[in-house]
């Protein structure tokens, strides 16, 4: 019997996190009692409560916590939470406590696990693989790092034979997995508060890749040094699997796909950017190896709607365009802004950007400054601290970052001021971007823009 089946109750500390909520939904769907804590009530926690998953937003030992028994309760926490009275209580009472990554590894260890890793691209790739599995009616479950526009969720259950998981490099979490198949999309410097430098990040990804038992089931973007034999994929250059002949027509992207033995012409979808064609290329490669025919894959990829907050786009009748994106690293920002400039080269772009973490802002300040200078107008929000304290990063502020931005039209604003500032600006395209709480602007903007 799987070790996890010995527990009746599951308590999630940080249940509102995207990875945590997917696991919470899994156990709830399995008929277990699921409850948890998060410091903030969000759209996601509200949805969890509507699904029957009980949440609290106060760090106190309430009656529901007191009713739990150490013998049949598993406590799952996110490493982003460092100190919490509830966690201290569970530790003192002798409860079994695991990190999210450990539990995800246990959930998927009896499946053919497809794990997608990378500092960029892993959410889109894992969600697309899940979508293709669903359209091919394969028996799989999906644990995603974003909300699929097709599923309207970050969790999907369609059987137990396969699992698709987003393999998180933060805190080396992905080393808890047992991947039978794996993708490495990128190994850029990030999470330097954990790894220290780029060399240690790359060592982490090589350790992850070493977990895959079969060279032919490890797919790595061409040019990355993963330290072992593998299948390569690329766009506009030859690899084991590659796509080329990219062209755009009425907001759709067409491309041809090459395997080691054949070429399949005229795949089409609506997800912009060369980086997303890379994600499509490796997804098609894996589904092809799983035995799905290309006629079915063509139809499936054409129906892919993307991920919430990954280039979520609205075009209004008055001509205004609104794009919302989760990008929070210079490489991601460059990809989003380049896509906008490619599709709409002559339109005036207003960027509202919220930096995420003081440490990331400090480590990549010059690159951030170059990225966000590419718009015609810039609203730079205060840094979203997440797990960090400002007092530990003296001098690292949005005003400090703004000084590095070589642009004429730029200013620092608070989140509370941003919507009114947007209303006062002249623009054709609005891009709201960042991984903090800038997403709270989304609904007001979507309601307001059609009225202009």
Per-residue pLDDT of the chain (452 residues; tens, 9 = 90+): 478 989 999 999 999 988 899 999 999 998 999 999 998 888 899 999 999 999 999 999 999 999 999 999 999 998 777 778 999 999 999 999 999 989 999 999 889 999 999 988 899 999 999 999 999 999 999 999 888 999 999 999 998 899 999 988 877 888 989 999 999 998 875 555 565 667 778 888 999 999 999 999 999 999 999 999 999 999 999 999 999 999 988 778 999 999 999 999 999 998 877 888 999 999 999 999 999 999 999 999 999 998 888 888 888 999 999 999 988 889 889 989 988 988 888 999 999 999 999 999 999 999 999 999 999 999 999 999 987 889 899 999 999 999 999 999 999 999 999 999 999 999 999 999 998 889 999 999 999 999 98
CA-only gyration radius of the chain, Å: 22
Nearest residue to 306 (alpha-carbon basis) of 329, 283, 334: 283
To which residue do tokens 């990378």 refer?
118
Q: Give the single-character DSSP code of 438.
A: G
Angstrom distance (rounded) from CA 113 to CA 214: 13
User: Quick one: pLDDT at residue 40?
Assistant: 83
E strand spans, 129-279: 140-148, 153-157, 162-167, 181-184, 218-221, 231-235, 241-249, 252-258, 263-269
Angstrom distance (rounded) from CA 277 to CA 262: 18
Angstrom distance (rounded) from CA 128 to CA 111: 19
Taking the C-alpha atoms of 105, 109, 111 and 117 in order, what is their torsion angle to the nearest 10 degrees?
Answer: 40
To which residue do tokens 């695991």 refer?
98
* All residues at 6 or more sequence positions from 21 whose CB lies less than 8 Å from its CB, including other chains: 15, 44, 45, 48, 154, 155
**Taking CA 133 as the corner, what is the angle to CA 128 and CA 136, rounded to the nearest 5 degrees?**
125
Can you read off the two tokens belonging to residue 451? 């009225």
User: Quick one: pLDDT at residue 190?
Assistant: 58
Helix (H, G, I), strand (E, B) or coil at 120: coil
Please give the C-alpha separations between residue 290 and each of 112, 134, 239, in angstroms, as whole numbers: 11, 13, 19
Q: Are 287 and 395 in contact (CB under 8 A)?
A: no
Q: Are 343 and 181 in contact (CB under 8 A)?
A: no
Can you read off the two tokens belonging to residue 139? 């028996």
Beta bridge partners of 314: 322
Please give the C-alpha separations between residue 119 and each of 185, 188, 305, 349, in angstroms, as whole numbers: 7, 6, 22, 26
Q: Give the single-character DSSP code of 31.
A: T
Beta bridge partners of 232: 220
Q: Are 48 and 23 in contact (CB under 8 A)?
A: no
**Cα separation of the two ends of the chain:** 60
Please give the C-alpha separations between residue 251 and each of 17, 80, 342, in angstroms, as whole numbers: 32, 38, 11
To which residue do tokens 């999906």 refer?
142
Can you read off the two tokens belonging to residue 180? 């039978």
Tell me the domains of the chain and their CATH numbers. 3-99 (3.40.50.720), 111-302 (3.40.1190.10), 312-451 (3.90.190.20)
């Amino acid at each position: 019997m799987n070790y996890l089946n010995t527990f009746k109750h599951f308590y999630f500390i940080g249940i509102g996190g995207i990875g945590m909520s997917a696991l919470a939904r899994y156990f709830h769907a399995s008929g277990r009692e699921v409850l948890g804590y998060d410091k903030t009530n969000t759209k996601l926690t509200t949805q969890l409560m509507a699904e029957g998953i009980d949440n609290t937003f106060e760090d106190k030992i309430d009656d529901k916590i007191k009713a739990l028994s150490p013998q049949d309760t598993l406590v799952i926490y996110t490493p982003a939470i460092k100190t919490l009275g509830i966690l201290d209580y569970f530790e003192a009472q002798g409860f079994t406590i695991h990190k999210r990554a450990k539990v995800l590894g246990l959930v998927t260890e009896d499946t053919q696990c497809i794990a997608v890793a990378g500092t960029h691209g892993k959410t889109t790739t894992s969600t697309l693989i899940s979508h293709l599995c669903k359209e091919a009616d394969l028996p799989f479950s999906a644990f995603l790092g974003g909300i699929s526009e097709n599923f309207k969720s970050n969790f999907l259950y369609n059987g137990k034979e396969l699992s698709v998981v987003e393999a998180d490099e933060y805190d080396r979490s992905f080393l808890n997995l047992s991947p039978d198949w794996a993708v490495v999309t990128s190994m850029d410097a990030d999470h330097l508060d954990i790894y220290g430098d780029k060399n240690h990040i790359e060592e982490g990804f090589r350790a992850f890749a070493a977990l895959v038992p079969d060279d032919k089931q490890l797919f790595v973007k061409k040019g990355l040094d993963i330290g072992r034999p593998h299948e390569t994929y690329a766009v506009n250059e030859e690899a084991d699997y590659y796509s080329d002949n990219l062209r755009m027509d009425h907001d759709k992207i067409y491309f041809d796909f090459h395997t080691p033995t054949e070429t399949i012409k005229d795949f089409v979808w609506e997800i912009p950017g060369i980086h997303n064609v890379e994600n499509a290329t490796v997804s098609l490669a894996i589904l092809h190896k799983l035995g799905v025919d290309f006629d079915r894959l063509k139809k499936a990829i054409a129906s892919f709607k993307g991920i919430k907050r990954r280039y979520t786009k609205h075009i209004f009748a008055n001509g205004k365009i609104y794009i919302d994106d989760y990008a929070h690293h210079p490489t991601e920002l460059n990809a989003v802004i380049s896509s906008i400039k490619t599709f709409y080269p002559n339109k005036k772009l207003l960027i509202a950007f919220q930096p995420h973490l003081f440490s990331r802002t400090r480590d990549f300040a010059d690159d951030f400054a170059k990225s966000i200078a590419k718009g015609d107008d810039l609203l730079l929000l205060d840094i979203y601290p997440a797990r960090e304290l400002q007092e530990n990063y003296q001098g690292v502020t949005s005003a400090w970052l703004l000084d590095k931005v070589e642009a004429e039209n730029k200013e620092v604003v608070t989140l509370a001021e941003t919507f009114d500032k947007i209303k006062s600006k002249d623009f054709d395209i609005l891009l709201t971007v960042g991984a903090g709480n800038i997403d709270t602007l989304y609904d007001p903007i979507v309601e307001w823009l059609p009225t202009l």
